[in-house]
Amino acid sequence: MSNKNITCECGHVNPYGTEICEVCGKPLKGDLDSKQLLNMRYEGSARRSQTYKTTIIDKIWNFFSSVKVGIWIIILLLVASAIGTIFPQEMYIPPLSDPTVYYKEQYGVLGQLYYDLGFHNLYGSWWYMLLIAALGLSLIVASLDRFIPLYRSLKKQRVIRHESFMKRQKYFGVTEVNENTPDLQGIKEALEKKRYKVKEEEGHLFAEKNRFSRWGPYVNHIGLILFLIGGMLRFFPGMYVDEVLWLREGETEKIKGTEEAYYLQSDGFILETYDNNDEKFKNAIEESGQAAVAKNYQTDAVLYKQVGERVAGTDPELEKVKEHPIQVNKPLKFDGYAIYQVDYKLNELQTMSFTMDNKDTGESVGDLSINLYNPDKSYDLDNGYRVEVMDYFPDFEFNDKGEPTTKSKIPNNPAFILNMVSPEHPDGEVAFVAIKQNLEPLGENDYKMSFQNVDTKNVSGLVVRKDNTLWILAIGGAIFMIGVIQGMYWNHRRIWVRRTDKDIWLSSHTNKNWYGLKRELESISTQTGLQMPIDQAEQKK
Amino acid sequence: MAQLSSNLLYVAFFIYFAASIVFAISLFGRKWRKSDEESHAKKWGMWGFILSTVGFLFQLSYFITRWIAAGHAPVSNLFEFTTFFGMAMVFAFLIIYLIYRSNVIGVFAMPVAIIVIAYASVFPSDIQPLIPALQSNWLKIHVTTAALGEGILAISFAAGLVYLVKTVNQKKASKSTFWLEFVMYSLISTIAFVILSLGFEAAGYSSTYQFVDQNEQQVTVDYTLPALAGPTDGQYVSGNEFGPLFEAPSWMKGEKAAHKLNTLIWSIVGGLVLYGLIRLVLRKRIGAAIQPALKNVNEELVDEIQYRAVAIGFPVFTLGALIFAMIWAQAAWTRFWGWDPKEVWALVTFLFYAAYLHLRLSRGWQGEKSAWLAVVGFVIIMLNLVVVNLVISGLHSYA
């Protein structure tokens, strides 16, 4: 404790920097007889930031404890956040597009500038993070700086307050004593009827209600700090999983991100649309210009759990956990994970089947069916006929040099270079086979591949999520709401009464909603016959 | 049922209109009749309140019948949301009136609610089917709470406007008078936009243009207002043959950029014409014309109401537009927060009112400064409603 503590005439030792005695309310600063209203903010308590200003730590503390600085941080965050919505963020531009050219192409010079300034990834930028960190620091420092001394003051306040304290409140009234003036007991009852907690001491009354509302701001700041901590936890390994899972109808896949513990099987993907002739929605669907409006995206999924250790080279032993139709808004939840329906592909090619025909006779010598995800090296057709897969392009296109190549591993446009082996041609004849294309690059062949049909399947685009930070975010959010409501929907009101032989003084303070306080005082003065206190702030004008 | 529903909305709209007029009459104490000023204000104020309540009940009936007709809470597209926002504003006003009995707030709040509802009528009002992402109980919970929060915050705008009209010195032109007139002009140009849109729609105006967009795609665009600004290198296809007078600058990209620019020009010009006419009639600033009617208004009380509306509305807004929004986003979009423009603008609104509260409670910004902040807050809310939905398109662009 500093030896510069201030001892008030009431005997209480106040910490250095106190402006209004914590116990009796005597103003410790400035002229005691001043008529100016007391500055009741934080009860005139000794805040560290207003008291110590020399060392570096003081200066940092004082910087972040300043509400002005806090407001600036809020404004900067606000402006920065708004700027981030001018053009879409990188994560929202079409997939596969190159951001270095996308912004210029779509939005011209301004788009280029936006990209050059790094605004295409604004919310993940170091300076945006820094602003959020500064906000967190400001929340902690500013709250501590105010809460502790305020708590002390409100805890230590005494029933009997200094004359100067009472006179210098916004609401102050004097009622002369005559035969009609009520005794303290009557006033006390009137106050208690208004649900004040009233204490009495030597001809003084002190009525107070809703002090807890003063803690509202600090409670909500704690909530916000927890929320920010929750946001930070995301970056720790294991807290957060986010994987994409494409699942074909009828297939079972390992669920990525679950450390191979779980498997998911799709029993089918369903896409439902609204009936375009539905009386209710007809006009809207027509107006929208869309051919159809989606009603439901659904993957009928079965969740399996692996039993025991998996032996290399064998299929894992699976145990069914549950069946669940995964729909938008209705993820499949298990063991902290959730699997969401986010995308789909209809009629993705699975297998293509061909016959190998003799061109002269037109007769087929055999048929084969190629799995487009995993083609065999060669297909035996008996009787000396065989088809070898020399090359496979699942998503075929010609590159810049005019060579065949593939855009992706998804069989959107499958093409093959096949070698047809026959008794006449034991070395085979080469054919290039694609959808609606049949080329003979090395000269005329005697045999040809005839396309028969394709098998398609629907594919579900799912997202696997685990977010172990949600609980802390939920707690933070809940505490924030409690704090805001506690601080905003209740008001801390205090009334001091002092009775002498001559007159009765009444003064009053609230932290906000003066109109409500005024109405309450009016009601109390009508009930008790006391003079309605004067609004001294109004008087000064 | 759908027809009944929209008729109920019309009735509500006209009752709101009547309520605004009654509130206005309550202000003109002695001028109206030689009755005692206080009892006059009390009497007319009571009627204004009763009318507003009746109008609100009609709109509530619209809401319920439309809900029954659609089979889902009617807050799923721009028409429904904007209408609901107007209703939330009226509801918030009724509550504030019950606390403070202030007629003058009604004079400003009710017309603003009317303008909001009129603006809603520009959007297609057909009952839409819900896409999968919207099929959730959170639709009604999140949207209604967010709209209610915004409605309460809008009352703070109305009170701020009262404060400014009452206190801004109209004797000489200043920044304050300019911006106050600008607010008036903005409200008027919204009215102008609604009148033009509905007028041309009633006349069956439509013309179609074709152009090649930046993705080299052939696009057709329908103009429902005469084309002043046409798409770059646009070709007339069908419909009314007026215009375009000029082409939108080529840096304005996007499928509907030129169309949006055209709408904006019409609103600005229409607003200027309407504003100009009003100025011609009044022969002074609109603010200056209204000011004398507010001479008995207790500005401290108005300031208190303005702040109280924020104090009540801020927690409701936070709950609806951020917390419920996050809970739903976690279920529908796999993540509670994704920096979608609408999400960001909800955050911007939250940050703005957080700054407002800190400025007011800790920095002593009361009275005029606080009133201006309330105006800016409403501008942000309207930006989130209008610009973010119509200009910046994100996940929330359902209309």
Cα separation, B231 vs B100, whole angstroms: 52
For an interface test with B, give the residue of A328, A333, A540 to mutate (most B CBs within 10 A): A328
CB contact under 8 A, A281 and B363: no
Listed residues B253, B283, B313: the one ending a domain: B283
Find out whether A456 and A349 touch, Cβ atoms under 8 Å. yes
Residue A32 is classified by DSSP as T
Whether residues B195 and B216 share a domain: the answer is yes
- Dump strand ranges (E) for A249-401: 252-254, 262-273, 294-306, 318-327, 332-334, 337-358, 364-371, 378-380, 386-393, 396-398
For an interface test with A, give the residue of B66, B98, B126 to mutate (most A CBs within 10 A): B126
Residue A80, chain B, CB below 8 Å: the answer is no
Q: Provide the number of structural domains found in chain A.
A: 4
Instruction: Evaluate whether residue A197 is within a structural domain.
Output: yes
Residue A239, chain B, CB below 8 Å: the answer is no
Whether residues B331 and B194 share a domain: the answer is no
Whether residues B221 and B194 share a domain: the answer is yes
pLDDT per position as a tens digit, B214-262: 667 777 788 888 888 887 777 788 777 777 777 777 666 566 777 778 8
Listed residues B238, B256, B283: the one ending a domain: B283
Of A86, A92, A281, nearest to B129 by CB-CB distance is A281
Of A85, A294, A467, nearest to B344 by CB-CB distance is A85
Cα separation, B269 vs B192, whole angstroms: 9
Instruction: Evaluate whether residue A78 is within a structural domain.
Output: yes
Place of tokens 């606080």: B370
Of B126, B345, B348, nearest to A283 by CB-CB distance is B126
Whether residues B343 and B375 share a domain: the answer is yes
Residue A522, chain B, CB below 8 Å: the answer is no
Helix (DSSP H) and strand (DSSP E) numbers for chain B: 13, 5
Residues of chain B in contact with residue A294, where contact means CB-CB under 8 angstroms, are 131-132
Which residues, listed in sequence order, are joined to residue A266 by a DSSP beta bridge?
A301
Residues of chain B in contact with residue A274, where contact means CB-CB under 8 angstroms, are 129
Residues of chain A in contact with residue B361, where contact means CB-CB under 8 angstroms, are 512
Average pLDDT over residues B17-21: 95
Query: What's the token pair of residue B61?
Result: 């009936």
Its domain, for residue A274, covers 240-346+461-468
Whether residues A283 and A251 share a domain: the answer is yes
Whether residues A326 and A385 share a domain: the answer is no
Whether residues A23 and A135 share a domain: the answer is yes
One DSSP character per residue, B299-338 reads: HHHHHHHHHHHHHHHHHHHIIIIIIHHHHHHHHHSSSS--
Whether residues B257 and B311 share a domain: the answer is no
Its domain, for residue B256, covers 171-283
Average pLDDT over residues A370-399: 88
pLDDT per position as a tens digit, A33-72: 777 888 888 888 888 887 787 888 888 998 998 899 999 9
CB contact under 8 A, A106 and B335: no
Residue B87 is classified by DSSP as H
pLDDT per position as a tens digit, A485-540: 999 999 999 999 998 888 899 999 998 888 889 999 999 999 888 889 988 887 65
Of A70, A81, A295, nearest to B129 by CB-CB distance is A295
Q: What is each CA distance from B262 to A492, B248, B265, in whole angstroms?
A: 53, 8, 5
CB contact under 8 A, A82 and B388: no
pLDDT per position as a tens digit, A89-141: 988 888 788 888 888 887 888 889 999 999 999 999 999 999 999 999 999 99
Instruction: Evaluate whether residue A160 is within a structural domain.
Output: no
Residue A274, chain B, CB below 8 Å: the answer is yes
Find out whether A345 and A454 touch, Cβ atoms under 8 Å. no
Q: Rounded to the nearest 10 degrees, how much is the dihedral formed by the CA atoms of B266, B270, B273, B275? A: -130
pLDDT at res. A1 = 42
pLDDT at res. B220 = 79
Q: In CATH, what number is assigned to the domain containing residue A531?
A: 3.30.310.80
A-B contacts (CB, under 8 Å): 144
Find out whether A171 and A536 touch, Cβ atoms under 8 Å. yes
Residue A540, chain B, CB below 8 Å: the answer is no
Q: Tell the burial category of A541 from Cβ atoms under 10 Å away from its Cβ (0-12, 13-18, 19+).
A: exposed
Instruction: Evaluate whether residue A230 is within a structural domain.
Output: no
Residue A40, chain B, CB below 8 Å: the answer is no
Whether residues B297 and B275 share a domain: the answer is no
pLDDT at res. A237 = 83
* pLDDT for A2 beyond 60: no
Whether residues B312 and B346 share a domain: the answer is yes
Whether residues A126 and A263 share a domain: the answer is no
Average pLDDT over residues B147-169: 96
* pLDDT for A455 beyond 70: yes
pLDDT per position as a tens digit, B171-221: 999 999 999 999 999 999 999 999 999 898 888 888 888 887 766 777 778
Whether residues B181 and B193 share a domain: the answer is yes
Query: What residues have CB less than 8 Å from A237, skipping those under 6 apart?
Result: none
Instruction: Evaluate whether residue A510 is within a structural domain.
Output: yes
Average pLDDT, chain A: 89
Q: Provide the number of structural domains found in chain B.
A: 2
Cα separation, A294 vs A463, whole angstroms: 20
| Per-residue pLDDT band at B399 (split at 50, 70, 90) | very low
Instruction: Evaluate whether residue A297 is within a structural domain.
Output: yes
Residue A262, chain B, CB below 8 Å: the answer is no
For an interface test with A, give the residue of B97, B351, B357 to mutate (most A CBs within 10 A): B351
Instruction: Evaluate whether residue B395 is within a structural domain.
Output: no
Q: Is A100 helix (H, G, I), strand (E, B) or coil?
A: helix
* pLDDT for A373 beyond 60: yes
pLDDT at res. A119 = 93
Instruction: Evaluate whether residue B270 is within a structural domain.
Output: yes
pLDDT per position as a tens digit, A413-440: 899 999 999 888 888 889 998 888 888 8
Average pLDDT, chain B: 89
- Amino acid letter, residue B118: A
Instruction: Evaluate whether residue B398 is within a structural domain.
Output: no
Instruction: Evaluate whether residue A408 is within a structural domain.
Output: yes
Whether residues B53 and B151 share a domain: the answer is yes
CB contact under 8 A, B132 and A470: no
For an interface test with A, give the residue of B222, B362, B383, B391 to mutate (most A CBs within 10 A): B362
Average pLDDT over residues A67-83: 95
Of A75, A329, A485, nearest to B132 by CB-CB distance is A329
| Per-residue pLDDT band at A381 (split at 50, 70, 90) | confident
pLDDT at res. B252 = 63
pLDDT at res. B89 = 97
pLDDT per position as a tens digit, B103-135: 999 999 999 999 999 999 988 888 989 999 999
Residue A488, chain B, CB below 8 Å: the answer is yes
Whether residues B154 and B180 share a domain: the answer is no
Instruction: Evaluate whether residue A480 is within a structural domain.
Output: no
Whether residues A88 and A186 share a domain: the answer is no
Q: Percent of chain A at pLDDT above 70? A: 99
Whether residues A289 and A379 share a domain: the answer is no
Whether residues A19 and A128 share a domain: the answer is yes
Task: Please give, rounded to a whole number of angstroms, the shortest distance from the CA of B377 to a CA of chain A.
Answer: 12
Whether residues B179 and B124 share a domain: the answer is no
Of A71, A81, A329, nearest to B359 by CB-CB distance is A71
Listed residues B264, B283, B302: the one ending a domain: B283
User: How would you classify residue B239: left for phi > 0, otherwise alpha for psi between -120 and 50, otherwise beta?
Assistant: left
Of A75, A329, A331, nearest to B135 by CB-CB distance is A329
pLDDT at res. B35 = 62
CB contact under 8 A, B311 and A512: yes
Whether residues A391 and A419 share a domain: the answer is yes
User: How would you classify residue A500: left for phi > 0, otherwise alpha for psi between -120 and 50, otherwise beta?
Assistant: beta
Whether residues B230 and B314 share a domain: the answer is no
* pLDDT for B356 beyond 90: yes
